[in-house]
Amino acid sequence: MSVVPYKDKEDPKKAQVAEMFNNISPKYDLLNHVLSLGIDIIWRKKAIKMLQKDQPKLILDIATGTGDFAIEALALNPDKIIGVDISEGMLEEGRKKMKKRKLDHIIDMQMGDSEGLLFEDNKFDAVIVSFGVRNFENLEKGLADMYRVLKPGGKTVILEFSKPKAFPMKQAYSFYSNTILPQIGKIVSKDNSAYTYLPESVQAFPDGEDFLAVLKKVGFHSTVCKPLTFGISSIYVGEK
Ligand SMILES: C[S@@+](CC[C@H](N)C(=O)[O-])C[C@H]1O[C@@H](n2cnc3c(N)ncnc32)[C@H](O)[C@@H]1O
């Protein structure tokens, strides 16, 4: 059974995830930075650095949300970044941000599903995702479609929560994510489930070598896992 945001609803995970992100979209950026004490910004920067040598010109940012990973990817000096997401609410927040920062000519935010991308094979120099893959309804299908649209020789860089393994961080993080985080999330976002779903979905999601095994299964090679901040997050890289 996959973990879904609203346990009392029968909708498929994808519809529930889109509904949840539509609900929390106005407060998403604020909650992200508050709940991670701003560390999420550093994690995104570190993940983008993994592409520094490649200097990709056309980048696809999957599950772009409000576009923060796409904005970090500007450090690579690309010609164009296309961000896709299944939540219109998140995209709308993102589009407002791009317009305000005068980035809408380079970052294009579109409705799109990672599990059925409307792009031709071998199109992008790099495909990136931050905090998105955990929400896919079908992880293998999503990663396989990312592989399909990536150019041979291109890289994927994926940033996702993982599970700290060592004492005392394991215990401290478990306490924080199961008690403090859902409370603050609930008060600020007004969505009762979103920030309970977050630790539950992290717990159920493959991390480290388990995630690399899925990347390899869909075709990626030269895979690497780089844990960040005691393993609270990890960067995964794979090549086509
Ligand atoms: C936690 S947010 C991450 C947003 C952004 N990448 C960031 O780092 O802040 C996860 C996003 O994944 C999107 N998402 C979930 N499943 C998706 C799918 N199958 N295809 C595209 N986007 C998806 C959600 O709508 C949501 O906006």
pLDDT (tens digit per residue) in 113-159: 999 999 999 999 999 999 999 999 999 999 999 999 999 999 999 99
Report pLDDT digits (tens) over 147-205: 999 999 999 999 999 999 989 999 999 999 999 988 998 998 999 888 999 999 999 99
In the DSSP assignment, the letter for residue 75 is G
Q: Is 174 annotated as a binding residue?
A: no
> Is residue 101's pLDDT more than 70?
yes
pLDDT at 52: 98
Domains of the chain listed by start with CATH number: 13-239 (3.40.50.150)
> Among residues 70, 34, 39, which one has the least CA distance to residue 229?
39
Nearest CA to ligand 1 atom 15: 135
| Residue 87, ligand 1, Cβ within 6 A | yes
The answer to whether residues 128 and 156 touch, using CB atoms and an 8 Å cutoff, is: yes
| Residues 47-69, mean pLDDT to the nearest whole number | 98
Q: Which pLDDT value is given to residue 115?
A: 96
- Top-confidence residue, 69 or 191: 69
Ligand 1 pocket: which of 87, 134, 160 to mutate (most atoms <8 Å of CB)?
87
- Ligand 1, atom 25: nearest CA belongs to which residue? 87
Phi, psi for residue 106 in degrees, rounded to 5: -110, -30
**Whole-number pLDDT of residue 228:** 97
Q: What is the mean pLDDT of residues 51-68?
A: 98
Calculate mean pLDDT across residues 15-24: 95
The whole-number pLDDT of residue 2 equals 82
Q: Ligand 1: does its nearest atom lie under 6 Å from the Cβ of 195?
A: no
Q: What is the pLDDT of residue 1?
A: 59
- CA atoms of 153 and 75, how far apart (whole Å): 21
Residue 2 DSSP SS3:
coil
The pLDDT of 90-109, averaged and rounded, is: 98
